[in-house]
């Protein structure tokens, strides 16, 4: 069944150019917001000083990943062997993706470890504050990623069950 899925995933039609452009713009909006909020509140979270840095680095590398996908050499015909430049870009793409995965885990530790921080900058207690906007943006960005991953997992499982039940997997494709 997994071989069938891989074969058919490569045959998906390419969306029209306007949809690709709109999706790239939407994909750039979140990294730009991460950079802007991280930079704006760079020194406003003494409780966990890594949170604004996390957002800035996440935004920059996410933008680089989106920009790499815009390069024309990444859209070569399926029957042609990948060019040297295309292989290089795929390597950088993979490297950045692994880095972003690891960085996401680090951001989870930094953000969730101080859950519910003190938001009041003027308190004199021993518990340092963290800017409310900065913290909640980081918190909900991560939480939404987990929600989307859960939805994707459920939809993917439903699709695989549906494909298997309707016989779309084909008995000759099973390995």
pLDDT in tens, 52-102: 999 999 999 999 999 888 876 655 566 667 778 888 888 999 999 999 999
156-161: long-range contacts (C-beta < 8 A, 24 or more apart)? 160/1, 160/5
Q: Are 74 and 68 in contact (CB under 8 A)?
A: yes
Phi, psi of 45, rounded to the nearest 5 degrees:
-145, 70
| Domain ranges across the chain | 16-143
Q: CA angle 57-18-141, nearest 5°?
A: 30
Instruction: Mean pLDDT check: name the lowest of 36-45, 122-131, 148-157.
Output: 122-131
Q: Are 53 and 39 in contact (CB under 8 A)?
A: no
Token pair for 51: 């949170």
Predicted local confidence at residue 145, as pLDDT: 96
Q: Is the model's pLDDT at 151 over the cut of 90?
A: yes
């Amino acid at each position: 069944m997994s071989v069938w899925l891989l074969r058919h995933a490569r045959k998906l039609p390419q969306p029209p150019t306007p949809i690709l452009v709109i999706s790239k713009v939407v994909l750039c909006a979140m990294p730009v917001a991460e950079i802007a909020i991280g930079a704006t509140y760079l020194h406003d979270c003494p409780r966990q000083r890594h949170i604004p840095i996390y957002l800035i680095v996440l935004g920059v590398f996410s933008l680089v990943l989106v920009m790499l996908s815009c390069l024309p050499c990444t859209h070569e015909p399926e029957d042609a062997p990948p060019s040297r430049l295309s292989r290089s870009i795929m390597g950088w793409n993979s490297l950045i993706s692994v880095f972003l995965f690891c960085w996401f885990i680090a951001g989870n530790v930094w953000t969730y470890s101080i859950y519910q921080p003190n938001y009041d900058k003027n308190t004199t207690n021993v518990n340092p504050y963290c800017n409310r906007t900065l913290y909640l943006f980081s918190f909900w960005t991560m939480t939404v990623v987990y929600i989307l991953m859960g939805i994707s997992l459920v939809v993917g499982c439903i699709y695989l069950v549906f494909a298997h039940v309707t016989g779309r997997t084909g008995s000759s494709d099973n390995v």
